[in-house]
């Protein structure tokens, strides 16, 4: 099964999870990682930040490929939010441990921004929010999990599709959003932008 697209699609991300998710739903794509920086501006709320960051990533790749007339570019960015704290990727294992301690026994939000660009302009953007409930975690569990290295390149320092599934008591909203790309919203965005012709 393969989705019918009206133009080629480029994924502006090096994320293996996003590649796997698009492949799972049969969307054909090529990969061109973005060089755009992911820096939150002062006073910028989490949803605005990830949506802008997703747009910046797609824009950077779209403008690079525009001369070749290369179809659509999909950008995405994900953060974990606990209270007012926005958690991106951990700087190191000590930072990962600090993040996971904060998430232990709590409910947090995972927010992903998604943007589609083509021909040097943004065609559509959206974001999705999922609530995730963690059970209480003890220090031994946290230390062993961090040592695995699974969460080193992931927002919130964990991978819900991996060993960290054992931390999760509940998920309210899009599961694929927690992995890194809200699939239902992304397919709707592709349809809205005129990219998705037929699916599944």
Q: Show which residues are catalytic.
A: 77
Beta bridge partners of 78: 112
Determine the 3-state secondary structure of 143 from DSSP: helix
Distances (CA, A) of 168 to 105, 113, 179, 189: 10, 22, 13, 29
Q: Which among 12, 17, 21 is positioned nearest to 184, based on CA atoms?
A: 21
CA distance 85 to 13: 24
DSSP 8-state class, residue 68: G
Handedness of CA 91, 93, 96, 102 (dihedral sign): negative
């Amino acid at each position: 099964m393969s989705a019918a697209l009206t133009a080629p699609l480029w994924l502006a991300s090096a994320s293996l999870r996003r590649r796997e998710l698009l492949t799972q739903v049969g969307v054909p794509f090529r990969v061109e990682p973005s060089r755009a920086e992911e820096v939150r501006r002062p006073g910028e709320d989490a949803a605005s930040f990830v949506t802008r960051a997703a747009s910046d990533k797609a824009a950077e790749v779209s403008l690079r490929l525009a001369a070749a007339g290369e179809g659509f570019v999909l950008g995405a960015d994900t953060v974990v939010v606990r209270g007012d704290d926005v958690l991106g990727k951990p700087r190191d294992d000590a930072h990962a441990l600090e993040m996971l301690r904060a998430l232990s026994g709590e409910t947090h939000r995972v927010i992903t921004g998604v943007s589609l660009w083509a021909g040097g302009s943004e065609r559509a953007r959206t974001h999705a929010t999922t609530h995730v409930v963690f059970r209480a975690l003890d220090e031994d569990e946290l230390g062993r999990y961090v040592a695995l290295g699974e969460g080193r390149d992931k927002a919130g320092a964990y991978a819900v599709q991996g060993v960290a599934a054992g931390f999760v008591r509940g998920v309210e909203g899009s599961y694929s959003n927690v992995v890194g790309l809200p699939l239902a919203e992304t397919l709707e965005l592709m349809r809205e932008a005129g990219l998705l012709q037929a699916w599944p």
